[in-house]
Structure 1
């Protein structure tokens, strides 16, 4: 498992599990540019895992952790076991953020509750604007109506 540079990820001590990666460009010195896929378990919703794919910059700067990764990411969250809640959750809550550069750009995941449809909605975006609008991706996990989502 890989710890993500001390930034919050589904809680203070959560870890990402690397699922895999593909090289997208050969770099002579340093690691290649890649697309990485990582899995994150939502700590407040047991039975839900989010899979995030994102670009990872290679080269010398990328190898040293000094490169700025692209602001694009994709997300797919799925039910991977019985869904349960230890306590009520907020209507909307940031459950993950990860620095993509040494300057202020972050990848964020926000969980929203669609109470009418008893569905958890996860949105990923970067706080760096691209052409006036942040890149984003959304996914939803329906919860069986026999298990109402408890809200704070």
Structure 2
């Protein structure tokens, strides 16, 4: 992952996490969720997308859980904001993404889940990171549940 840019809107603790993850994915794979209102050490991955407006390669950390079918499940919550997060809009515009889980880097494809699969994975993620429940209550939009599969 070279020539990447951290989005300008990232808080410093998130930028620090990305930089640590890039230096040693195994050491930074677990993130202290108390920084984001959760509890304990949670698994994170790095998602690399191409900015739909800027064209720049952008990277962001996301909490994940294994989806049970070889994928990595994430939530496009943006803290319950009315609009989808930029990373989600970027991958809608360009499916060429890269994922780093610990020290394993791979090209991936993203699937936005629906129906029973979405409900199962939402529950899995909300049990893992409780703030997702309050994010859901804070917005009228359906928060996307996305699974990244190695390409």
Higher normalized helix content (fraction of residues): 2
- Higher relative CO (CA 8 A, sep ≥ 6), structure 1 or 2? 2
TM over 0.5: no
Q: TM-score, normalised by structure 1?
A: 0.30
Larger radius of gyration: 1
Higher normalized strand content (fraction of residues): 1
Q: TM-score, normalised by structure 2?
A: 0.30
